[in-house]
Amino acid sequence: MELTTLWFILIAFLFLGYFVLEGFDFGVGMLMPFLGRKSRMNADKRRRATLNTIGPVWDGNEVWLITAGGALFAAFPDWYATLFSGFYIPLLLILLALIFRAVAIEFRGKIDDDQWRARCDAGIIIGSWLPAILWGMVFAAVVSGTPIDENKQITNMWEAFLSPYAILGGITTTMLFLLHGAVFVALKTGGEVRADAIKAAGLLAPATLLVAGGFAVWTQLAYGSTLTWVFTWVAAIGLIVTVVMTARQREGWTFVATFITVAAATALLFGSLFPDVMPSSLNPEWSLTVAEAASSPYTLRVLTWAAAFLAPVVMIYQGWTYWVFRKRITTEQIPPSIGLKMRR
């Protein structure tokens, strides 16, 4: 296999890992106001229990995005430049949302004040919804083709970004992450929070099957290849298993099914791109291909050796983190707030 093809697969794998792991993070953040309602006295404990499900792992999950961005820059500098300059506004919004979300998660417990916590919750919720929607729109827009001219410049990003296909892509990733997050909360909590998460997953699963199924079929028929039929079928089976297992309240198997669905959907998008990385909607000859966008063979060889030694270490460390924090969380285990009093 050529190194350019290998690195295209590795970039796809890094984004796959990011969406699979950070996807349920986003889902948990989006579901916080729904899983943390009830009485005012109990609402904060429910929200803290919900947030604690991702507390030890959310920042580790974001490492996949940083690694994917760095690898994209090093292995495919022209792809990186065209993508980030063309989709500058939505990618900047994603970056700002991730920063606000990270600050809100870290600072929420520092001050014991309802107004402070409400503002942090707003940061977490908005910082989860925006990336969930925008990532789907950006990737769908790239797959469908953007108006790239002969100089490899995107002339009008909005034409592809606001197309019906891209909007459906945004709705699809949002629904998938919501379902993935609801199942993760059900898997990681007990008591009333688990019961509400199972109920939410039961409501989301059929709707996600319809929306994501429609997007997958559209992607396959319009942009797919013979190979991507495999990913389409895997995603479809994963969604069907999700609906069945949700109805049976088997959250362990449901999480495996949503995990596989998100992974297959990401593979479908990247598989539909290859051998292009940025297809042109103006002229197929102006599309940016894997070979054209790649760094020199020497750079790719150095990157391959670095990835071969470092990637297993990171993956083992992250797997160990999930194993250590594998126990369920209930509202009864949430201690009183130890935050500082707000100065007024």
Q: Note the pLDDT of residue 40.
A: 56
pLDDT single digits (tens) 213-228? 999 999 999 998 888 9
- In the chain, the percentage of residues whose pLDDT exceeds 90 is 49
User: Token digits for 316?
Assistant: 């083992």
Does pLDDT of 344 surpass 70?
no
Q: Note the pLDDT of residue 2.
A: 84
Q: How confident is the model at residue 120 (pLDDT cuts 50, 70, 90)?
A: very high
pLDDT single digits (tens) 172-204? 999 999 999 999 999 988 888 898 899 999 899
Does pLDDT of 95 surpass 90?
yes
Rounded CA separation 171/78 (Å): 29
Name residues whose C-beta falls within 8 Å of residue 204's C-beta, 6 or more positions apart in sequence. Answer: 175, 178, 179, 182
pLDDT single digits (tens) 254-309? 999 999 999 999 999 999 998 889 998 888 888 899 988 888 899 999 989 988 88
Q: Note the pLDDT of residue 41.
A: 57
Q: How confident is the model at residue 38 (pLDDT cuts 50, 70, 90)?
A: low
Q: Note the pLDDT of residue 49.
A: 87
Model confidence, pTM: 0.93
